[in-house]
Amino acid sequence: MQTSVVPDHRGKKLIRALPYVVFLLSLVFTWYTSSVYAVTIMDSDSSSELVLSHLLSQQNAVLTTDWFYSTELRAIHSNLVFAPLFQVFSNWHTVRLVGMIVMQAVFLLSYGYLCRQAQFSRQAFFYSGAILMLPFSVQYGQIVLYHSLYIVCVTIGFLIVGLYLSVMRRWSQPEKKRTRVITLLLLLLTCFLAGLNGIRQLMRCKTAASGSRGRL
């Protein structure tokens, strides 16, 4: 009696779905911990960012002379997210939580752009993106994911490296000259905006670029 072997399509589907499931679970965990963090944990650095953003929201400004800036001018920083949210929400905890999630989402999008320009696989992005969204150390969770002190700088660092890779890939393609010029202008503009963040941005760009050193 001859038996037929049925291919295990279900197992293959589970393997293909695994990176998406891991990524989704990472998002759920981080956004849940963000909701707890936004209400229960606060220090002088994160509170001063909110106070500054509230002041800028009242003045409808990006910079102000009514604030003593500490290490650098907060030109391209979390205040660009928190200040508009104060126009929508009156609860400071809500502003902090929504601001966290918005910056984490933009953080992931910029990393996705870097992975695409570096020609990484989709599975590689979802696995590594899941790791990026997890507080795998106290320092990373505090200053990047939750206190939002460095997440903007790292986001800009990812964009700079991604734009650089895009320019280099199109450099030898004459038919894409217009796209190359536009991308180069975006790269220069992003670098200029990054420079407004001072030495903090320089250190974060070095961290972002180190992961792509083998691709350059």
174-214 pLDDT per residue, tens: 667 788 888 889 999 998 888 887 776 776 655 544 444 44
- Asked whether 194 and 185 are in contact (CB, 8 A), the reply is no
Confidence tier at 131 by pLDDT (50, 70, 90): very high
Other CB atoms closer than 10 Å to residue 191's CB: what's the count?
16
Asked if pLDDT for residue 94 goes beyond 70, the answer is yes
Mean pLDDT of 86-113: 94
For residues 194 and 201, give the distance between their C-alpha atoms in angstroms, rounded to a whole number.
6
8 Å CB contact between 118 and 165: yes
Are 73 and 63 spatial neighbours (Cβ–Cβ below 8 Å)? Answer: yes
Crossing angle for the helix pair 79-86 and 44-59, to the nearest 10 degrees: 60
| Residue bearing tokens 């990006």 | 62
What is the predicted pLDDT for the residue at 205?
58
Section 79-92 average pLDDT: 92
Which pLDDT does position 30 carry in this prediction?
93
**pLDDT recorded at residue 175:** 65
Cβ atoms of 176 and 170 within 8 Å: the answer is yes
**Stated pTM of the model:** 0.83
Q: Which two tokens stand for residue 138?
A: 């106290």
Cα separation of 131 and 124, whole Å? 11
The ranges assigned to domains in the chain are 43-211
Q: What is the pLDDT of residues 133-146, one digit of tens each?
A: 998 888 888 888 88
22-66 confidence digits (pLDDT tens): 999 999 999 999 999 888 888 888 888 899 899 999 998 888 888
What is the end-to-end Cα distance of the chain in Å, rounded? 60
